[in-house]
Structure 1
Amino acid sequence: MVSFLSWVACFCFCLCVCFLSVSANQLPRFEHQVNADGSLSFLVVGDWGRRGRFNQSQVAFQMGKTGEDLNIDFVVSTGDNFYDDGLRSTYDPFFEDSFTKIYTANSLQKQWYSVLGNHDYRGDVEAQLSPMLRLMDPRWLCLRSFIVNTETADLFFVDTTPFVDKYFLKPKKHNYDWRGVIPRNNYLTNLLKDLESALMSSVATWKIVIGHHAIRSIGHHGDTKELIHHILPILEANNVDVYINGHDHCLQHISSSTSPIQFLTSGGGSKAWRGAIDDDKNTKNDSKFYYDGQGFMSVELKQADANIIFYDVFGKVLHTLNLSKQLRSPMYDSFATYIK
């Protein structure tokens, strides 16, 4: 039974921590307060929920240490939150066994913003989206698509699974919960429209988009052609700085000569070591870093600078990306320069 204190905590979260837009024609928006100097820091982990197995617990331990060092504001999950087939119901013990009982460090007792992955769609999607989970653990917030607004950055979370044709055309032995998505064309059209509108209206210094599937990747799954066709042009037209995803169980950074966007993968939250690299030569040439193993990312943002670090399961720094935001006069857009 959910305790009264848990209910109060969740209620206070809804009222005080963030504001949720209820407009049916817009993506839900949450306001997250940042430090007095406008700085913002958070961790990113993906593809994790396995009851602590496949080094999930070890990754969680290192996240706790890094989260304390950086005094993080929140955590981002890039999807595939519960393996192999999502949650069965809102009362599925898998939620506590793979989330609440794993990410126990004090520094991780912050808001978690999560998107759905394809494995989550194999279960009861409505359960994972349900406010009941927030009563069980007030940290949890998972929606299909939404926006987190801060003083320093706007984060746009996008439901990428419905874009991928093979889940509809060749489902194989898996069943997917498409409630809320069918009719698919209408769902995708509205999502793209809302995303484009939100990006166009954003005046944030940093624009970061998060989805489960990669746009660019040299990992096992490679590029996602549907996202390249439908989403990438919208991101490029609206000065998005970074796209972050999971899906490939690895850590990677791709910086393309044909796009100003930095493509980052953080999908090493548990099972990894797939041992497969995509053979697309163009993508390989754009790759700045690739690690076929477990780990996570940290992101530190200031008005003019961003520091992004990839860590392995032992907390070792594997790769660092520094971005410099050159601020122009208000009548012009700002733009980021890739430094390292």
Structure 2
Amino acid sequence: MACFCNKSMALCLVLTICLLGSSFAELQRFEHPANGDGSLSFLVIGDWGRRGAYNQSEVAFQMGRIGEKLNINFVVSTGDDFYDNGLTGENDPAFEESFSKIYTAKSLQKQWYSVLGNHDYRGDVKAQLSPVLKKLDSRWLCLRSFVLNAEIAEFFFVDTNPFVDAYFENPKGHSYDWRGVLPREKYLANLLKDIESALRESRAKWKIVVGHHAIRTVGHHGDTRELVKQLLPILKANDVDLYINGHDHCLEHISDANSPIQFLTSGAGSKAWRGDVKTLNREVVKFFYDGQGFMSVQLTQTNAEILFYDVAGKVLHRWNAPKQQLYSAI
């Protein structure tokens, strides 16, 4: 279901949200204009919602500073927005205490596009997806899976949680809100079909996929084998440039050994895991940091520049590559 509006983007978003249907429907589409020169810049933060604790507030402050410097267009959230167990309902004070009252900088008063994380699924998922939250804070947009057309780039937000077998087979005492997902097999089959179709039809200069779980990582959780098997082949076949995720509480940049895809983890919005590193994928790791921080992305027609920042706003890693040289830059 596409959204075609000649008025404000806010109206476009409201109209689209009002048209939301079944979980098995075609992916919802949103529009966000690029800059006048065709460029685009945004911040990426994940695993953050702790009412300011574990340096969440300090990271938010630096995001505001960098957001102003880059004049960002929007913010991408990679999930686990509310710890430890999502929201209890539409009126849960955690929404304001972990989001509205934390990300207060003027530069962060832009649209936020968010996917669900596994901790979000432990709460009332429908509350987190509810348009009521947008009435509380107009920046908020969280859906299971959707497409964002930002002119120079298209973003494909994917709900990765239902892919993970362990959440169904061995939930380890946790309760997950699978309303809207079951039957799981049908949900995943339709989601993969929709993602593949949307990627194939995209004519954007940059194709960026966002999910909560990592495909490639040296972090605590390791590669998500279900995504490696089911989603990664679709990304490779459709010329995806970046896969962005959270879940591991770290910052990292990993190249793919046989495709142009760059795997970028930004899951260090609050509590980080120090010293928890695996040996898998080390041969293609360009950067890894096990502290708190966030990421910025700047795109032009011909170039991508990605920076990772720590809790003090210091640049830890910079990756810059022309579009046509992405593969040779591996």
Show the counterpart of 2:4: none
- Which residue among 305, 316, 336 is the counterpart of 2:326? 336
Decide whether aligned partners of structure 1 residues 98 and 219 sit closer, same or farther in structure 2, where only a CA change above 3 A counts: same
The residue type paired with residue 313 of structure 2 is G
Contact 1:213–1:247, Cα closer than 8 Å, also in 2: yes
SS of alignment partner, residue 81 of structure 2: coil
Query: Can you list the C-alpha shifts for 1:160-189, whole angstroms capped at 9, x where unaligned?
Result: 010000000001110000000010000000
Is residue 17 of structure 2 the alignment partner of residue 15 of structure 1?
Answer: no
The residue type paired with residue 324 of structure 1 is P
Is residue 72 of structure 2 the alignment partner of residue 77 of structure 1?
Answer: no
Show the counterpart of 2:287: 289
Show the counterpart of 1:4: none
Instruction: In structure 1, list runs of 5 or more residues that go unmatched.
Output: 1-10, 327-334
Contact 1:243–1:261, Cα closer than 8 Å, also in 2: yes
Decide whether aligned partners of structure 1 residues 147 and 185 sit closer, same or farther in structure 2, where only a CA change above 3 A counts: same
Show the counterpart of 2:259: 259
Contact 1:324–1:338, Cα closer than 8 Å, also in 2: no
Matches within 5 A, 1:80-99: 80-99=80-99
Deviation at 1:256, TM superposition (A): 2.3
Deviation at 1:13, TM superposition (A): 5.3
Instruction: In structure 2, list runs of 5 or more residues that go unmatched.
Output: 1-6
Contact 1:17–1:33, Cα closer than 8 Å, also in 2: no
The residue type paired with residue 286 of structure 2 is K
More off after superposition, 250-259 vs 291-300:
250-259
Deviation at 1:16, TM superposition (A): 4.5
Show the counterpart of 2:270: 270
Show the counterpart of 2:3: none
Matches within 5 A, 1:192-203: 192-203=192-203
Show the counterpart of 1:168: 168
Q: Distance in 2 between matches of 1:14 and 1:29?
A: 14
The residue type paired with residue 52 of structure 1 is G
- Superposed CA RMSD in Å reads 1.7
Q: Distance in 2 between matches of 1:14 and 1:313?
A: 31
Query: Can you list the C-alpha shifts for 1:29-88, whole angstroms capped at 9, x where unaligned?
Result: 000011111100000000000000000000000000000000000000000000000000
Matches within 5 A, 1:101-180: 101-180=101-180
Count of residues in Structure 1 that have an aligned counterpart in Structure 2? 320
Is residue 52 of structure 2 the alignment partner of residue 52 of structure 1?
Answer: yes
SS of alignment partner, residue 203 of structure 1: coil
SS of alignment partner, residue 96 of structure 1: helix
Decide whether aligned partners of structure 1 residues 215 and 231 sit closer, same or farther in structure 2, where only a CA change above 3 A counts: same
The residue type paired with residue 290 of structure 1 is F
Deviation at 1:260, TM superposition (A): 1.8
Matches within 5 A, 1:23-38: 25-38=25-38
Contact 1:45–1:77, Cα closer than 8 Å, also in 2: yes
Show the counterpart of 1:332: none
Contact 1:18–1:32, Cα closer than 8 Å, also in 2: no
Show the counterpart of 1:331: none
Matches within 5 A, 1:200-211: 200-211=200-211
Deviation at 1:274, TM superposition (A): 3.7
